Copies of this chain bind each other. A is one copy, B any other.
């Protein structure tokens, strides 16, 4: 097989998988079993296979290391500082992904014995430049809240408008007006009432909504 006469670095994908849980934006980290950075926390990710698309690699690595699949995933940025891995030149295509807390079912797999959620406000020391990746992903997520329906990918199949509002408030880190919020998200025309209501304590039950076309990302306003 032909090889171009040029350096051939290792190439990985890394995935910042977010959810909102316990009133916090959280990200999945795995504890590394092998050097470098053995026993440190890192993002799930790994080497791109020879006949594998980059997106597919991110999906596969996430599934292998956390057991999670079928969620929203988007390419974020490519990090290639020559010394970002102490052993060899490794270029990583970073992705970010979103899932509902309700779908939580972390399955630690072969090369990541421990996978766990961590609040982004309280991260442990991270391997490589993964802190930078998370920071950039968080920034992108916050920016996309303003002009897309990306946050719907953080919601379970059925949810109340108050729950949706909480997700927005947690990511933007500021309170929102209830009536204005409802007007805005309903204007997106992406949500549908289910007939059901959620009873949840000693107060009026809340209508449950679902996303009309799940997985779709609408650009709005």
Tell which of B2, B4, B53, B80 touches A80, judged by Cβ atoms closer than 8 Å: B53
**Chain B residue contacts of A49, Cβ below 8 A:** 7
Contact B47 A6 (CB under 8 A): yes
**Chain B residue contacts of A93, Cβ below 8 A:** 78, 80, 91
Q: Given A75-B77, A78-B75, verify A48-B1 contact (CB < 8 Å).
A: no
Tell which of B3, B52, B80 touches A54, judged by Cβ atoms closer than 8 Å: B80
- Interface residues of A: mostly helix, strand, loop or mixed? loop
Residue of B nearest to A4 (CB): B10
Contact A52 B11 (CB under 8 A): no
Bound CA–CA A61/B176 (angstroms):
47
Residue of B nearest to A89 (CB): B50
Tell which of B4, B89, B90 touches A88, judged by Cβ atoms closer than 8 Å: B4
Contact A7 B47 (CB under 8 A): yes
Contact A78 B54 (CB under 8 A): yes
Within 8 A of B (CB), among A1-46: 1-4, 6-11
Find the residue from A1, A82, A87 having the highest chain B CB count within 10 A.
Answer: A82
Bound CA–CA A11/B79 (angstroms):
13
Q: Given A75-B77, A77-B75, verify A91-B4 contact (CB < 8 Å).
A: no
Tell which of B8, B51, B80 touches A8, judged by Cβ atoms closer than 8 Å: B8
| Residue A162, interface by CB 8 Å | no
> Besides A53-B81, A91-B91, 17 other CB < 8 A contacts?
A4-B47, A4-B90, A6-B47, A6-B48, A7-B47, A7-B50, A8-B10, A11-B80, A50-B89, A51-B82, A52-B82, A53-B82, A54-B80, A78-B78, A78-B93, A80-B93, A91-B93
